[in-house]
């Protein structure tokens, strides 16, 4: 009797903590390495597959000595390494590509990163078409539409499973507000919507539990929109945010995995195919979404519900109005690149 209860419990735990294969493309980079480290800490990840055009075996060997569940494999481009890295992935995270230098906008990265992301998306379409794909490579406003178009060309696009990672904007917003109001940043909730570059980043400070003066709202909004520039400037030509981005990327991937336990609704901000501004020709938009579970196998099931924006102040309305044309251009640019 005792044995059978124990056996039943063991069975139910095993089913709810279904193993997850996570693949990081660009894993040897400034973001890729700390991101892979944070993912290695997640006990629900049973296989961490790291791919890069350089140094992936070294990163994998290093991570593989950490005594957590995940088996780590490292893959370079030789011997069909990308195909092997991707096969059977539940989640693919892409931080591959060049970062900004001072005085560059994210759009300046397009000429290099668009083709990197397009080629990786083609490999995903062929070798892990069912994976949830998390795009970190900038310009996110355009690279997400690029991936969508490539997946469509291969007949495997599912809007529930493609995400632009905008978590860092929300993490920065929480931190900047908590510095101003002397609160615990990890509990300071700020909604940020729109896209992931300059004026397309729209914080909805009127919806926070704090009250702000008009000057505070303007200063905070500017800092949240251009917070990435602070890091680019401080790094003085050696790159952009890597550690805070790794934290943000792991937070999002872990949320997707934890949604698969099916225990409670998991809500995260992300840039997805969205109906919110479809009337204005905007196919992708960042907002809070609920992440779900595929109950039959307790695996992640992507976007379950896209939240609306709620009530906006006149200032926030004006920010959205400024974001829309740039977002439209960025999305168009990505789509045209694939066409
Ligand atoms: P990094 O240069 O340190 O690392 C990029 C890695 O990608 C390198 O290891 C490189 O070998 C690899 N790579 C290049 N081409 C590849 C390919 N075809 N396949 C696989 N790997 C490839 O750059 P970092 O700092 O890690 O930034 C990566 C990207 O993330 C940049 O585009 C940057 O703008 C973006 N980023 C996005 C943020 C966001 O909030 N979504 C925040 C910060 C950066």
The average pLDDT across 53-62 equals 98
Phi and psi, residue 33, nearest 5°? -70, -55
Q: Which pLDDT band, with edges at 50, 70 and 90, does 94 fall under?
A: very high
The average pLDDT across 72-94 equals 97
**Is residue 335 situated within a structural domain?**
no
Among residues of the chain, what percentage have pLDDT more than 70?
Answer: 94
pTM: 0.94
- Count of other CB atoms within 10 angstroms of residue 308: 10
Average pLDDT, the chain: 93
**Is residue 232 situated within a structural domain?**
no
pLDDT tens string 321-331: 999 999 999 99
Quick one: pLDDT at residue 261?
A: 77
Q: Is 110 exposed, middle or buried (0-12, 13-18, 19+ CB in 10 A)?
A: buried
Quick one: pLDDT at residue 260?
A: 80
Kindly report the three-state secondary structure assignment for every residue of the chain: CHHHHHHHHHHHHHHHCCCEEEEEECCCCCCHHHHHHHHHCCCCEEEEEEECCCCHHHHHHHHHCCCCCCEEEEECCCCCHHHHHHCCCCEEEECCCCCCCCCCCHHHHHHHHHHHHHHHHHHHHHHCCCCEEEECCCCHHHHHHHHHHHHHHCCCCCHHHEEECCHHHHHHHHHHHHHHHCCCHHHCCCCEEECCCHHHEEECHHHCCCCCCHHHHHHHHHHHHHHHHHHHHHHCCCCCCCHHHHHHHHHHHHHHHHHCCCCCCEEEEEEEECCCCHHHCCCEEEEEEEEEEECCCCEEEEEEEECCCCCCCHHHHHHHHHHHHHHHHHHHHHHHHHC
d(CA 96, CA 250): 15
Q: Is 129 exposed, middle or buried (0-12, 13-18, 19+ CB in 10 A)?
A: middle
The average pLDDT across 185-207 equals 96
- In this structure, what token pair is assigned to residue 164? 């632009």
Quick one: pLDDT at residue 19?
A: 83
**Is residue 45 situated within a structural domain?**
yes
| Structural domain for 107, as ranges | 2-165
307: alpha, beta or left? (left if phi > 0; alpha if psi -120 to 50): beta
> Of the residues 31, 86, 171, which should be mutated to test ligand 1's pocket, given the most ligand atoms within 8 Å of the CB?
31
Domains identified in the chain, total number:
1
d(CA 61, CA 58): 5
Q: Which atom of ligand 1 is nearest to the CA of 239?
A: 25
Quick one: pLDDT at residue 265?
A: 84
Is the distance from CB of 338 to CB of 118 less than 8 angstroms? yes
> Of the residues 75, 78, 240, 247, which should be mutated to test ligand 1's pocket, given the most ligand atoms within 8 Å of the CB?
240
Quick one: pLDDT at residue 332?
A: 98
Quick one: pLDDT at residue 193?
A: 98
**Is residue 53 situated within a structural domain?**
yes
Quick one: pLDDT at residue 79?
A: 94
Residues 6+ apart with CB under 8 A from 6: none
- Count of other CB atoms within 10 angstroms of residue 6: 10
Nearest Cα neighbor of 306 from 332, 326, 284, 323 is 284
ipTM for the whole complex: 0.99
Ligand 1 site residues (CB inside 6 A) read: 25-26, 28-32, 51-54, 95-100, 109, 113, 116, 120, 136-138, 140, 165, 168, 196, 239-242, 245
Is the distance from CB of 202 to CB of 180 less than 8 angstroms? no
pLDDT tens string 147-189: 999 999 999 999 999 999 999 999 999 999 999 999 999 999 9
The residue whose CA has the least distance to atom 27 of ligand 1 is 99
Catalytic residue among 196, 210, 222, 307: 196
What is the 138 CA–ligand 1 centroid distance (Å)? 8
Quick one: pLDDT at residue 190?
A: 97
**Candidate from 157-171, 189-203, 215-229, 252-266 with smallest mean pLDDT:** 252-266
Q: Which pLDDT band, with edges at 50, 70 and 90, does 301 fall under?
A: confident
The average pLDDT across 184-205 equals 96
Quick one: pLDDT at residue 293?
A: 79
**Is residue 135 situated within a structural domain?**
yes
CATH number of the domain to which 142 belongs: 3.40.50.720
What are the binding residues for substrate?
100, 106, 138, 172
Q: Which atom of ligand 1 is nearest to the CA of 51?
A: 20
pLDDT tens string 40-50: 999 999 999 99
**Is residue 308 situated within a structural domain?**
no
Catalytic (active site) residue 196: yes
Quick one: pLDDT at residue 7?
A: 37
- Count of other CB atoms within 10 angstroms of residue 179: 13
Quick one: pLDDT at residue 1?
A: 34
d(CA 255, CA 54): 29
Radius of gyration of the chain (CA): 20
Q: Which atom of ligand 1 is nearest to the CA of 164?
A: 41
d(CA 202, CA 195): 8
More confident residue, 192 or 12: 192
Quick one: pLDDT at residue 13?
A: 38
**Is residue 277 situated within a structural domain?**
no
**Is residue 64 situated within a structural domain?**
yes
> Of the residues 25, 26, 242, 270, which should be mutated to test ligand 1's pocket, given the most ligand atoms within 8 Å of the CB?
26
Quick one: pLDDT at residue 17?
A: 52
d(CA 96, CA 138): 9
């Amino acid at each position: 009797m005792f044995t059978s209860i124990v056996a039943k419990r063991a069975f139910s735990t095993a089913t709810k903590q279904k193993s997850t294969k996570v693949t990081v493309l660009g894993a040897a980079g400034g973001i890729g390495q700390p991101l892979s480290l944070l993912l290695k800490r997640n006990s629900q990840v049973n296989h961490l597959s790291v791919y890069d055009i350089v140094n992936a075996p070294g990163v994998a060997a290093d991570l593989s000595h950490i005594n957590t569940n995940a088996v780590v494999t490292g893959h370079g481009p030789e011997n069909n390494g990308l195909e092997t890295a991707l096969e059977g992935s539940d989640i693919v995270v892409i931080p591959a590509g060049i970062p900004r230098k001072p005085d560059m906008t994210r759009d300046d990265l397009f000429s290099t990163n668009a083709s990197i992301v397009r080629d990786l998306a083609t490999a995903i379409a062929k070798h892990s078409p069912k994976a949830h794909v998390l795009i970190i490579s900038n310009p996110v406003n355009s690279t997400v539409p690029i991936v969508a178009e490539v997946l469509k060309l291969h007949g495997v696009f599912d809007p529930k499973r493609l995400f632009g990672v905008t978590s860092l904007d929300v993490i920065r917003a929480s931190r900047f507000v908590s510095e101003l109001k002397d609160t615990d940043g990890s509990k300071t909730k700020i909604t940020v919507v729109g896209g992931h570059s300059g004026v397309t980043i729209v914080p909805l400070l009127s919806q926070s539990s704090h009250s702000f003066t008009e000057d505070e709202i303007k200063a905070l909004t500017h800092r949240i929109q251009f917070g990435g520039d602070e890091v680019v400037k401080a790094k003085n030509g050696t790159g952009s945010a890597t550690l805070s981005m790794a934290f943000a990327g792991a937070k999002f991937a872990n949320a997707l995995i934890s949604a698969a336990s099916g225990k409670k609704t998991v809500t995260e901000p992300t840039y997805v195919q969205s109906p919110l501004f479809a009337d204005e020709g905007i196919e992708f938009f960042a907002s809070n979404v609920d992440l779900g579970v595929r109950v039959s196998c307790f695996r992640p099931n992507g976007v379950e519900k896209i939240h609306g924006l709620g009530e906006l102040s006149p200032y926030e309305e004006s920010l959205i109005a400024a974001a829309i044309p740039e977002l439209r251009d960025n999305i168009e640019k990505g789509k045209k690149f694939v066409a």
